[in-house]
Amino acid sequence: MAGGCTFLIVANRLPVDRVTDATGKAAWRRSPGGLVTAIAPVLQRRHGAWLGWAGAADEDLKPFEDDGMHLIPVPLSAEEVQDYYEGFSNATLWPLYHDVVGEPVYERSFWEAYQRVNRRFAEMAAEVAAPGAVVWVQDYQLQLVPAMLRELRPDLRIGFFLHIPFPPMELFYRLPWRRQIVEGLLGADLVGFQRPGAASNFIRLCRRLLNLKYQGNQVFVDDRVVRAQAFPISVDFNELDEVVRRPQTWRRAAQIREELGNPQKILLGVDRLDYTKGIGQRLSAFGELLGSGDIAPGEAVFVQIATPSRERVEQYRLLRDEIELQVGRINGEHARLGAPPVHYLHTSYSRAELAALYCAADVMVVTPLRDGMNLVAKEYVSCRGDQQGALVLSEFAGAADELRQAFLVNPYDIDGLKKIMLEAMRANPAELAKRMRAMRRRVATYDVDRWAADFMDALESHDETSREGR
């Protein structure tokens, strides 16, 4: 049975959050973040729909309209949230796909829930999609959906985009359900990744694991062609650029510096509290620089904003304890009264306040051990219209492919990290301007609109009957 939607986004979460308005009534508010900003206009233009979980367990909501978007909630039971979402998605796939920097849990009941929930998403999508509709499936929680959906609705054009890294074959092979995942993805016409290396990992896997033929970025599956290609996601450059053109943003940035005791240098980290982000490594480096006297007392402060996340997964609770212990130690050893060298905050900030923090930061420290892209790095660049500020960036973030003029670093190398942090702190304004100008050109050109447009163009121009090289 076909429905009436000609364009459909399928994602784990709907693009809205539940809020309580002034009168105490429950309402919906568009979720912050680049993905929603990029896709919402496409959805509104094409009168499309978005299918996803509303965020609370055991709830059966009817489809509704919000902000010009047709939203279709997918129900999840409390047990499914535990096994499919916290389990298979965040305790199995997340660490496996991020270079095993955390130990993945291989649990058969998680896998069962993952299949069951993926099937529900696919069935609901099959029901609402119009004949020949375009369906764009998002991210690692839904890798089985493309094949399940194709089986139900071979008439659809299906795209898939993976927002997180795709691991090398040697790591992916550990997954007991490796074959099913690759077959699931191959249900799509176009499989998008953040980096070209991830697309190559996937193609290599298709060849080795499934014995499929390929040429360039095309994999031949039965009588179909599947393309695997990189589409690096980005941020809304113009929105941030506009925020920092307002004088109040710079006034606020100056105020932040004053509140921090007017240090010569402010170093900033902004992350979800996740073991992939390398927060411990950067704090170690900063602590050692204070200990050795390379950074004089009062010369620099480190502001680390760490939003707690996934707190029901044990590794995340342990990480939080570790980081808090580390911050306590550094401050215990190096703080003077009223002047701790590390400011550690769990606060969630508005875009304007975050932009002011970026403007106040002399050195932005982005040191993930592995990251699909890292939007914080691109947001920092978007905010530095003054052409100043230094970006210290891990080689293991997707953003490093594009932001070649950053102070690139291997975050596992603490001595290297110390050296590059000092270099970034001491770089002269002319050098900083040269680097920042080049990085801004890149982010301004390849912004999030361009990302969505490039993916949609590739999906819609995909010629599934192409037989080149067979």
d(CA 273, CA 35): 20
Among 262, 264, 348, 388, binds ligand ADP (CB under 6 A): 348
Shorter beta-carbon distance to ligand ADP: residue 264 or 348: 348
Q: Which of 181, 226, 319, 373 binds ligand ADP (CB under 6 A)?
A: 373
Of 370, 366, 279, 368, nearest in space to 327 by CA: 279
Tell me, yes or no, if 163 is annotated catalytic: yes
Q: Which range, of 197-205, 244-252, 343-351, 426-434, touches ligand ADP by CB under 6 A?
A: 343-351
Which residues make Cβ contacts (< 8 Å) with residue 384, sequence separation at least 6? 244, 358, 359, 436, 440
Amino acid type, 106: Y
Catalytic residue (choose from 163, 294, 386, 401): 163
The count of C-alpha atoms lying within 13 angstroms of the C-alpha of 161, restricted to the half-sphere facing its C-beta, is 24
Active site residue 321: no
Structure-block tokens of residue 133: 């509709």
Residue nearer to ligand ADP on the CB measure, 5 or 369: 369
Least distance from ligand ADP to the Cβ atom of residue 379, Å: 5
Question: Of 249, 374, 382, 394, which lies in the binding site for ligand ADP, with binding defined by CB under 6 A?
Answer: 374
Residues 6+ apart with CB under 8 A from 115: 144, 180
Q: Which stretch binds ligand ADP (CB under 6 A): 9-17, 89-97, 373-381, 407-415?
A: 373-381
Dist. CA 144–CA 17, nearest whole Å: 25
CB of 344 to ligand ADP, least distance (A): 12
Q: Does 349 participate in binding ligand ADP (rule CB under 6 A)?
A: yes
Dist CA 285 CA 164 (whole Å): 26
Of 189, 274, 371, 447, the catalytic one is: 371
Cβ atoms within 10 Å, residue 197: 15
375 interacts with ligand ADP by CB under 6 A: yes
- Binders of ligand ADP among 118-177, rule CB under 6 A? none
Nearer to ligand ADP, 33 or 429 (CB): 33
Closer to ligand ADP by Cβ: residue 277 or 418: 277
241-280 positions binding ligand ADP, by CB under 6 A? 270, 272
Least Å distance between CB 462 and ligand ADP?
27
Residue 369's nearest CA partner among 405, 395, 344 is 395
236, 379, 402, 447: residue in contact with ligand ADP (rule CB under 6 A): 379
Residue 432: partners with Cβ closer than 8 Å, 6 or more residues away? 387, 388, 389, 390
E strands along 265-417, which residues? 265-272, 300-307, 342-345, 363-366, 390-394, 407-409
Min. distance of Cβ 271 from ligand ADP in angstroms?
7
Q: What single DSSP character describes residue 371?
A: B
CB of residue 403 vs ligand ADP: minimum separation in angstroms? 13
The catalytic residue positions are 163, 371
Q: Return residues touching ligand ADP (CB under 6 A).
A: 33, 270, 272, 305, 307, 347-349, 354, 373-376, 379
